[in-house]
Structure 1
Amino acid sequence: MTTVLERPDVVETDRTPAPPRPRGALGLRSERLLVTLGLLVVGVAHSLNLAGWPRYWDDEGTYYSQAWSVANLGALSPYTYWYDHPPAGWLQMALFTWIPDAILDGTNSSVLAGRIVMVGYTLVTALLTYLLAKRVGMARGWALAAMLLWAVNPLVLYEGRQVFLDNVALPWLIGAFLLVLSKDRHLGHHMAAGLCFGVAVLSKETTLVFLPALLVGLWQSAYRPTRPFAVMGFSAITVISGSMYLLFALIRNELFPGPDHVSVWDALAFQLGGREGSGWLLDPNGPSDGAYDSFTGWLQLDSGVLVVGGVAASLAALAVRRLRPLAIGVLIAALVALRPAGYLPQMYVVAVLPFAALVLVGLLDVAWKWLMRARSVPVRAVSGAALLLVLAAVAVPLANWRYNYAAAWTADTNDVRADALEFAEANLPRESTVVTDNAFWNDLVDAGWDSEDVLWFYKVDSDGAVTEQVGGDYTGIDYLVWSAAAAKNAGPIVVEAYEHSELLWTDGTGEAEVEVRRVRSLAEQAAIQAAEAEAERQQLEAFMAAPSAEFPELTNGQIEGIRVDRATMSVAQLADKYATAEETITAILATDD
């Protein structure tokens, strides 16, 4: 017998997910609003007086001229690319040169165009800093505080505005930490972190010091059974990214030294040991413009909040697991900076500052959460008072920031350069060869000079192709736009050109002084030398014909004649020849004895 079971009625349920609770949606909207407002503050703080402060620097012009070269010449540099830095940084800048071109009217400095691009990178870095703060467990308020403590720090305003490769590398570095610490523990995220870190290193090689911190973060966050695969995936992508740079050099036959070409090997030898050291960070007797001067400059702008406070907080943060990777990154970077020898670039601090802010505010977040969990009223009171003292200690140096804000938002440190450029545009012929620092390079090219006729002073002596272009000596140079950077770092050919030039225009004092000079031709130099020789001859003749101050009855010429003739003539003979008394002759000869 077959039994047929009737299918019971199935009650259909609504599978549409319930809408989010209004409170949660409101919280997300408010968070987005607060972060947007925070980014608006950051954008305004970094954009105000962007053309006036800080003073345009030669390195800024170097990096932006290379980005211009990529966009306009299809080359990595206007000169011979010698592997001093990997090119990913200015390759990225080249992608965004259209943005400032659309904003500016063409009357501003090209370095300003690069600074506009830097503002964009700062905004991206600020957002990633906030997300990384959330990723390591900070509450929204503390995460926003960390973002702002970094972004509106006067030291960050100073360094972040300038066209530095470090600013380009920074969002890639923070992005690598974000992906390494991903809550999903996905292998793809860890491999993407390797790609981000590879791009960061290829943008600025000094970010390589953060590799141990990234590996610690990866080890902590990866799912234990697949941890080896995560490390392998991250490492493989990082190595492959770096290998692209070496492969590029290999294809160009520029990996190793050889005749008549540059090489990665030579560039590494120069960067690691060939360049002049900058001294120890804490040695006041170190070289001028060296590590100590950089450090004191950092402190002057930062008041020690992140440069000192961030490092000190990192020592304590080693005990907090979620902050440990960031703290390790800060401490390793600090140890590298404290090495007693070697070269420390002034912008080295750029990559360290956001992590210092995250660690410092992260510790406050840890202390606040512990305080909120404390059940004992006395413990809460004492801990709350201690936290307030810490906040007050942090707030005291912040009061000094207002002076730096005044300079950042009102000072015009580039007015002399603008006047020098205006004079050069109005008075120098476009077919002339002009040697200058790179802060003027793009502007002169934009003003109508051929890119091959505007020469960076450094390359005249260091790049064989440029040296050959000027004929191997100063006579191939027509004009100089002379700045403090050129005065400190110019090579022999450029110095000789300066010594054989005449001043056309000058303004400013100290580091702000700029001169426009015309280099004299060989014919002019020969005429000047002949005129100087003739003037010297006439001056000597006048002197010889003039009466002697000590023996007025004789001329200076007669006095010199007596001194010459004494070897072959007696006193009586000298007196007879020069028609003077023997006593006078004796007195003259006595002055020689």
Structure 2
Amino acid sequence: MKKLHDIITHQRTLYALAFIFTLIFVGVMHGYNMNHYPYYESDEGTYISQAWSVINMGEFTPYTYWYDHPPMGWVFLAGWIQMLGGDFFQFGTSVDTFRVCMLMVHIISTALIFYIVHRVTKNIFAAIFAGVIFSISPLEIYFQRRVLLDNIMIMWLLFSIAILFVKKISLRHICASGIFFALAVLTKVTAVMFGPVILGYIILYKTKISRVFRTTIWLLVSIMSTSFYILYAFLRGEFFPAKNGEHVSFIEALQFQMSRKGADVHFWEYGSDFYFALESWMNKDIYFIIIGAIIIVLSIIVAIRFKNIRFFLIAFLLYFVFLIRGGVVINFYILPLFPFFAMIVAIMFYDISTLFCKREGTRAMVMFVPFLAVCIYYGFYGPRIHFLRDETTPQSNAIEWIKKNLPNDSAVIIDSYALVDIRDPHNINDKTFPNADWFYKINRDVAIRDEKYHNMWQNFDYIALTHEMLKQIELDSHSLVRDAYRNSLPLAKWLGDRETYVNEQKFRTTNGDWAMIFRVNDVHHAQLLDSWESYRSTYINFDGANYGQVIDPATNTTTSEGQSYAMLRSAWMNDHETFLAAWLWAKNHLQNRVGDKLFSWQWKDDAVADNSNATDADEDIALALLFGYKLWDEEQYLTEAKVIINDLWEHSVIKINGRYYFLPMHERDADKWSGYLFNPSYISPAHYRIFAEVDPKHDWEQLATDSYKTLNEIGERYDNKIYLPADWYFIDKKYGRFSTANTYFNRNVNHFSFDAFRVLWRVALDAQWFDAKDAHEYLTHTAEFVDAYYKKNGRMPMILSKNGIPINDSHALSTDVGYAISMLYGESTDHAHEFFEKYVYSVYDVERAFWNEGTNYYDENWAWFGTGVFYNNLSNIWEINVFRDDNDITL
């Protein structure tokens, strides 16, 4: 008797130790690095926000609840938060907190699997093996860590099954199984796929309870428990479809779910949802899928002999049929297969071992072999990305940046993972962002899209772009969110692992370990975008060897200026394809001078027509490259820009009497014996302030300061009555005095004209980007004359002498934008807006997206640049915050 007691005690001890070991093992596998991998996904945020709504709003969702899923899953999640005292941020972000909940759910599910397998086999190693198989693959961990209804549903389903494997089934076990099954269905409807298997087990199980009675009881309990969901819809008057779609309906939601179909191809063919899901699964753990498929085929064969696996195999196959049925298959739909696969593997290996081993100890050793093989493979050879990769820090940093930097009333398009963290006043600060809304609801929910935002993209301020959102923007080509994105520019970026490919212009992204903030521009930016697309299709070559060449059709020439304009405009329009094309053409055809990396200014008849450089184009190309580096994270752009910036200083910046001057070309070309040619419109202090950050060995900041001294000197001296500069000057080498440069040109360059107006645009950049005092003061001085002249004459001349006498009283679109910018800094902006509307905006053809006839290359560019500055829509892209997180977890 004592010996029997000792044996039983020993077995219980072994069972307890094995049970504890298994739970610790799977807890470590599941829990280590779970808040950093995988990235936060939209579905996680959806269910978390709905749990948040249950607690804080007393509603099932923060938006219209349309019966897409039964609510038990997020009600369960709300209960988890209540256990934590209502703190959604107990373990970090809201997703982090609920991933801890998923860890608990997973441990409970593993415990149930351990129990079921041990009840079937009476073998501890088989039970351990099942728990390990359920938890060890990177494919399983990828989805099991996430806050998904499927994980909760699996737990309830396993409860429903486990309670039927007690030593002696009674009526209360039947009832409990039915209740747990109902909870599974009320968590996610796909649990019904396992109902026939459980019901079949109840029917076939030998017990004293009548077969008809126990079957009826289980069905009644399950159906009655589940019917509360239907009753809820009835009581709210939302069961039947409404006339004219006045409210949501249970029936319509059910019809929608049943009508969701994948591609019209066989499941094994490329293009089917199942094919793409399988591809995704194999990318995460190819050997798990291949070996798993072999094991399932083997289990089908041996199931003829081994009846213990039949229940689990039928459940597996029924759900597998659901996956290949031809409907929608999302990659996490594989989750319910994992527990049944784990139990099939463990029970099958045990049953096979009984054929060859009569002693229990030997069977244990046989079971230990596959267990050891699995552990060795995943411990030393298998993927370990789930332990090492940090995919969530960029996303959580984006949330923090929004909370700390954006106004509380901002209308922000967000992914659902961020909704609770941004809206909850207990996270980071007390901002609540009532106008931060999930992109899916903005596109689909009438109350949000039409009533709140009036279906106008202009009503949004920012977009918090993510992997999931970008994919949906690509699919919804005519959506409100896409329109807002099309009219936005990046403000901040958080980039993850360098293996992740992100090309937001082409809607391409391979992983979700990144986040970006875009600022939505006003309606005038839409004009910039439309006119840019017309310009690129008209003036830029996208065919053959001259791909990226900008051609002025009036002269059939290409200039470094034209290439620089295309690069700047494509940067401001976030158009990487055109930017790269224009840059490569300029680099390959114009950047071939001897002694420097500046650009020959003119190309004609497939050859360089003038090898001299124009420094306005050089500095604009350099700035565009810096912008490209910030926008698209291309390190080579930064490297190329630094070389150009260095050569600009070394060959085009001179010092006379302690003052720096920026020459319009290489010093040797500007040198005219006793002095230099000088063009004020090439001066760009805003550029120099940015160059100073990447080229600290040269005093670009001082050049910016000295440039204003030069502009003010020109405005105040030399009989200048208008404060505006002339197109060109000659500056003597000894004293830095300015005089006429007419000797060197075949036209009169002593007037304010087609070159000089650009000073106003370039100085305005400095005022807008850096709020430079010198810039504001200079523009204010110019506005005194321009305002007075316009007030008196109601127009501005194309060419103006320094005495204020019009040389050519006709209009020129390019010079008009200069005047309009100057007027912005006068006593009142009314004149500026009146003038701009009359002479710039009025000649814009909305349908063709061109100014005037669209045939003047120079006017098209400067109308665009002028419009951008006039409405402050040309942002300093260099200020974009780019953060890269390369600090993965170290084991």
TM-score band, normalised by shorter chain: 0.7 to 0.9
- 1:530-569 per-position Cα deviation (integer Å, ceiling 9, x unaligned): 9979x99xx9xx968759879x9xxxxxxxxxxxxxxxxx
CA deviation vs aligned residue, 1:474-510 (integer Å, no higher than 9, x gap) = 1221110011211221341010011111211123233
Which residue matches 2:456? 473
Instruction: Compute the displacement of 1:121 (Å).
Output: 0.2
2:518 match: secondary structure: strand
Q: What's the counterpart of residue 461 of structure 1?
A: 443
2:15 matches 1:31: yes
Q: Give the aligned partner of residue 493 of structure 1.
A: 480
Instruction: Name 2:180's counterpart in structure 1.
Output: 196
In structure 2, which of residues 368, 378, 389 is the aligned counterpart of residue 411 of structure 1?
389
- The code of the aligned residue for 2:481 comes to V
Match of 2:133 among 145, 149, 157: 149
Measured in 2, the distance between the counterparts of 1:23 and 1:149 equals: 29
Partner Cα separation in structure 2 for residue 322 and residue 229 of structure 1:
25
The answer to whether the 8 A contact 2:492-2:516 is kept is yes
Q: Is 1:433 aligned with 2:411?
A: yes
1:310/1:480 CA distance change after superposition, 3 Å: same
Q: Secondary structure at the match of 2:290?
A: coil
How far residue 160 of structure 1 moved from its aligned partner, in angstroms, is: 0.9
Shift of 1:181: 3.4
Residues 1:271 and 1:294: Cα distance change in structure 2 (over 3 Å):
farther
Deviations 1:237-291 (A, max 9, x none): 1111221111111111111211311112221222121355496543344469833
Unmatched segments (≥5 aa) in structure 2: 496-501, 503-508, 540-550, 558-603, 610-891
User: Partners in 2 of 1:397 and 1:30 — Cα distance?
Assistant: 21
1:507 lines up with 2:483 in the alignment: no
Pick closer, same or farther for the CA change 1:120–1:441 going to 2, 3 Å.
same
Which residue number corresponds to residue 268 of structure 1?
Answer: 254
1:202–1:402 Cα change, 3 Å: farther
- Aligned partner of 1:130 in structure 2 is 114
Match of 2:216 in 1: 232
Counterpart Cα distance in 2 of 1:101 and 1:279: 50
* Distance in 2, Cα, partners of 1:296 & 1:395: 20
Give the partner amino acid of 1:519.
V
- TM-superposed CA distance for 1:133, in Å, is 0.9
Q: 1:97: how far off?
A: 1.7
Whether contact under 8 Å (2:134, 2:342) holds in the other structure is yes
Tell me: CA distance 1:293–1:303, structure 2 relative to 1, closer, same or farther (3 Å).
Answer: closer
Question: Which structure carries more helix by proportion?
Answer: 1
Return the alpha-carbon distance in structure 2 between the equivalents of residues 68 and 308 of structure 1.
Answer: 43
TM-score by length of 2: 0.54
Amino acid at match of 1:408: H
Partner-residue secondary structure (3-state), 1:364: helix
One-letter amino acid of the structure 1 residue matched with residue 17 of structure 2: L
3-state SS, counterpart of residue 67 of structure 1: helix
Question: Which moved further from structure 2: 43-52 or 392-401?
Answer: 392-401
Residue 334 of structure 2, aligned match among 349, 352, 368: 349
* Residue 168 (structure 1) shift: 0.5
* Distance in structure 2 (CA, Å) of the matches to 1:75 and 1:54: 29
3-state SS of paired residue (2:464): strand
**Aligned position for 1:14:** none
How many angstroms apart in 2 are the aligned matches of 1:279 and 1:417? 36
* Residue 369 (str. 1) matches residue 354 (str. 2): yes
The structure in which a higher percent of residues are strand is 2
- Offset at 1:153? 3.0
Residue matched to 2:377: 399
Residue 241 of structure 2: aligned partner: 257
- In structure 2, what is the equivalent of residue 520 of structure 1? 521
The question of whether the paired residues in 1 share the 8 Å contact of 2:274 and 2:329 is answered with no
Q: Counterpart of 2:33 in 1: which secondary structure? A: coil
Separation of aligned partners in 1, 2:199 and 2:402: 53
CA distance in 1, matches of 2:104, 2:371: 32
SS of residue matched to 2:480: helix
Which amino acid counterpart does residue 406 of structure 1 have in structure 2? R
Partner in structure 2 of residue 445 of structure 1: 423
**Does structure 1 retain, via aligned residues, the 8 Å contact 2:106–2:144?**
yes
Larger CA deviation: 234-243 vs 321-330 = 321-330
Q: Which moved more, 1:421-430 or 1:257-266?
A: 421-430
% same residue: 25
The code of the aligned residue for 2:515 comes to V
Cα distance in 2, alignment partners of residues 301 and 278 from structure 1: 29
Q: Contact conserved, 2:413 with 2:437, CA < 8 A, in 1?
A: yes
1:169 aligns with 2:153: yes
Task: Report deviation, 1:336.
Answer: 2.1
Which residue identity is paired with 1:356? Answer: F
| Structure 2 counterparts to residues 294-305 of structure 1, below 5 A | 294-297=280-283, 299-300=285-286, 302-305=288-291
| 1:96-130 Cα shifts (integer Å, max 9, x gaps) | 02566799976832111111100000011011111
C-alpha separation in 2, matches of 1:181 and 1:107: 36
Check the 8 A contact 1:315/1:331 in 2, yes or no: no
Query: Alpha-carbon deviations, 1:347-367, whole Å to 9, x = none?
Result: 222111111111111112122
Structure 1: stretches of 5+ with no match in the other structure:
1-16, 376-380, 553-593
Shift of 1:449: 4.5
Counterpart amino acid of residue 525 in structure 1? H
Structure 1 runs of 4+ with >6 Å offset: 17-20, 100-105, 529-533, 547-550
Superposed CA offset, 1:29-73 (max 9, x none): 232122112211211221111111112111111111111111221
Structure 2 Cα separation of the partners of residues 153 and 532 of structure 1: 50
- Conserved? CA contact 1:160–1:167, under 8 Å: yes
2:468 maps to a residue whose letter is A
* Alpha-carbon spacing, 1:308–1:237, altered in 2? closer, same or farther (3 Å): farther
CA distance 1:481–1:52, change in 2 (3 Å): same
SS at match of 1:97: helix
Structure 1 contact 500–520 (Cα < 8 Å) conserved: yes
1:427-464 Cα distance to aligned partner (Å, 9 max, x none): 21111111111122222123544364221101012111
Q: Which moved more, 1:428-437 or 1:22-31?
A: 22-31
- Give the Å deviation of 1:521: 2.8
Look up the match of 2:33. 49
User: Looking at both structures, which has the greater relative contact order when contacts are Cα pairs under 8 Å and sequence separation is at least 6?
Assistant: 1
Change (3 A) 1:545 1:118: closer
- Structure 1 position 227, deviation (Å): 1.1
Stretch moving more, 317-326 or 48-57? 317-326
Query: Structure 2 vs 1, CA of residues 266 and 531 (structure 1 numbering), >3 Å: closer, same or farther?
Result: closer
With over 3 angstroms needed to count, the CA separation of the structure-2 counterparts of 1:402 and 1:53, relative to structure 1, is farther
Pairwise CA RMSD of aligned residues? Answer: 3.6
Shift of 1:147: 1.6
SS of 2:237's equivalent? coil
Q: CA deviation at 1:309?
A: 2.2
Contact 2:240 2:249 in 1 (8 A): yes
Q: CA deviation at 1:230?
A: 0.8
Secondary structure in structure 1 of the residue aligned to 2:335: helix
Distance 1:43 1:415 in 2: 22
Conserved 8 A contact 2:262-2:272:
no
- Cα 1:404–1:265 change in 2 (3 A) is farther
User: Contact (CA 8 Å) 1:78, 1:451: kept in 2 or not?
Assistant: no
CA deviation digits over 1:300-340, x for unaligned, max 9? Answer: 3735344552464255235433332112101211222223x
| Pairwise CA distance, 1:405 | 5.3
